[in-house]
Structures are given as C-alpha cells and as structure tokens.
C-alpha cells in the first residue's frame, strides 16, 4: 500500500499531467475544452508558485539545521562562522517580518520588507559590498588565467587568441581609437561563429528536455521523488 502511495500514485499524476498538457497544447478541439485546459494549466502554474514559496521556508529551516549540526560536530573551529550565518539569518527574518507587518498595519508609512530601514541598511551595507567583492575577485582570476591560457602553442591557439583580442578591443573605447572596425568585427564574431557554436548546444538542451519528459512519462525518471531506486 505504501509503495502505491509513495511511488505509483505520484508517477501516475505526473504522467496524466504530461499527456494532457502536451495534447491540449498542440491539439485544438473546441473553445470550451481549450478554455477548460487553459484554466487548469493556470491553476497548475499557480500551485508551482505556492509550492516554491513554501520551499523558501524549508530552505531557511534547512540552513539553520545544517549550521547547528556543523557546530555540534566541528565545535569551536566552525562556531564563529556558523553563528554569524545563523544570527544574520534570524535578524533578517525578524526585520523583514517587521517591515511586512508595517506594510499592512500602517500602509501610509511606506514601510515594506525591502524598505524597512534596518533591513535595507544591512542589505546595502553588509550583503551588497560582500556580494560585489566576491564577483569582483573574478577579474584577477580571469586576467591571470587569460594571460596564461592565450599562449600561441599551435594554430588553433592562435585563432583563439586573435578572436579574443578582437572581442576585447571591441569591448573597449580604446579599441575604437585604434581601429573603428573592431566594434563591427566583434558583433560579427558574436552573431555568426558564436551563434553557430551555441545553437547546437541549445537544440541539444531542448532535445534533452523532451527526453526527460519521455522518461517521466514512462516512469524511468524517479529522481524527482528524492530517491534513485
């Protein structure tokens, strides 16, 4: 019985939804069926929105649990890092709740979750600089990597280097001073050879999605239920 509830019923629901979705998306029978399908389709999308919202709460609880377990296992060495994470998580949730409360209790004050002063201060002065700094560090990594990678060891490497130089010069204002044609050449590289290279990848991803749908339909794909057996 439990196997039926845990495995077969969910798989059956997924299969029925796939068949109905594909059928009514491509086949038009009459107005009332099309309208009925559209309503049901919208309801399914809305459920996904609601489920995702709840998943965020699960995510928050999971972070809390993960770090508490880490402190318990690794002790004082891990404690400072995990404590900061947990403390900030709780502080942000509390401040957001205050903002949310004011948005309903006193709408004229103009305080919402994102405009709650302390929430916004922490986000703008703590999270934003840290996030930007993490991203900015990439510049050193990319500069160092490109300087080492773009060595003309063979003809394909030369081709790669020439392409990179054109794209880089096309992205700068100095490149335009050297030769205005770099900009047009950069655009050509992006729209012609680059698109030609990426299009098969996009088509491949599309075919992969179709195959995934077929695997779900035939009950071969079960990882979405949280197990592989």
Partner 1 sequence: MINMSRSISLGKILESRELLYTLLLISVILPIIHPLGIPIAVSARTKAVYDYIENNLKPGCHVYFEIYYEVAARGELEPNVVALTKHLFDKGCKIVYGSLASFGVIVFELMKTTAADVFQGREYGKDYVFLGYVAGGESAAASLAKSIKGTVSVDNYGNRIENLPLMQEVDKATDFDLVIIASSGTDTFAYYVRQWYTPYNVPLLFAALSIIAPSIEPYVGAKQAVGMLVGQRAGAEYETLVGRLGLGMASMDAQSTSHMLVLVFIVIGNVVYWSQRLSSKRGGGK
Minimum Å gap between C-beta 60 and partner 1 is 11
Q: Which of 46, 62 has the CB closer to partner 1?
A: 46
Single out the residue of 227, 228, 212, 229 nearest to residue 14, CA to CA.
212
What is the CB neighbour count within 10 angstroms for residue 200?
9
Minimum Å gap between C-beta 190 and partner 1 is 6
Q: Which of 54, 76 has the CB closer to partner 1?
A: 54
Rounded distance, CA 133 to CA 158, Å?
Answer: 33
Minimum Å gap between C-beta 20 and partner 1 is 15
Minimum Å gap between C-beta 229 and partner 1 is 28
Residues 63/92, Cβ–Cβ less than 8 Å: no
Q: Which of 97, 194 has the CB closer to partner 1?
A: 194
Q: Which of 198, 219 has the CB closer to partner 1?
A: 198
Q: Which of 76, 174 has the CB closer to partner 1?
A: 174
List CB contacts of 157: < 8 A, sequence separation 6 or more: 150, 151
Rounded distance, CA 81 to CA 87, Å?
Answer: 10
Rounded distance, CA 189 to CA 183, Å?
Answer: 10
Minimum Å gap between C-beta 94 and partner 1 is 17
Structure tokens at 167: 């794209």
Supply φ then ψ for residue 226, to 5 degrees.
Answer: 90, 15
The footprint of partner 1 (CB under 8 A) covers 38, 41-42, 44-46, 48-49, 51-53, 55-56, 103-104, 107, 110, 112-115, 120, 123-124, 127-128, 131-132, 134-136, 139-140, 143-144, 146-148, 150-152, 161, 164-165, 168-169, 171-177, 180, 183-184, 186-187, 190-191, 194-195, 198-199, 201-202
Q: Which of 79, 221 has the CB closer to partner 1?
A: 221
Rounded distance, CA 160 to CA 164, Å?
Answer: 6
Question: H or E element: which one contains 146?
Answer: helix 138-149
Minimum Å gap between C-beta 213 and partner 1 is 13
């Amino acid at each position: 019985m439990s196997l039926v509830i845990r495995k077969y019923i969910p798989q059956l629901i997924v299969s029925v939804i796939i068949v109905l979705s594909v059928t009514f998306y491509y086949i038009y029978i009459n107005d009332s069926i099309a309208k009925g399908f559209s309503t049901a389709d919208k309801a399914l999308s809305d459920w996904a929105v609601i489920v995702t919202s709840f998943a965020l709460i699960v995510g928050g609880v999971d972070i809390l649990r993960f770090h508490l377990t880490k402190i318990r296992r690794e002790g004082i060495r891990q404690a400072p890092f995990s404590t900061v994470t947990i403390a900030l998580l709780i502080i942000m949730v509390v401040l957001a709740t205050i903002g949310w409360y004011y948005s309903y209790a006193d709408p004229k004050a103009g305080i919402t979750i994102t405009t709650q002063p302390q929430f916004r201060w922490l986000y703008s002065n703590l999270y934003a600089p840290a996030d930007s700094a993490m991203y900015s560090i990439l510049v050193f990594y990319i500069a160092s990597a490109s300087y080492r990678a773009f060595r003309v060891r063979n003809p394909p490497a030369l081709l790669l280097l020439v392409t990179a130089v054109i794209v880089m010069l096309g992205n700068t204002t100095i490149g335009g001073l050297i030769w205005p044609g770099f900009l047009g050449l950069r655009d050509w590289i992006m729209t012609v050879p680059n698109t030609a290279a990426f299009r098969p990848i996009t088509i491949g991803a599309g075919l992969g999605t179709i195959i995934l749908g077929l695997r779900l339909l035939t009950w071969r794909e079960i990882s979405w239920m949280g197990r592989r057996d």
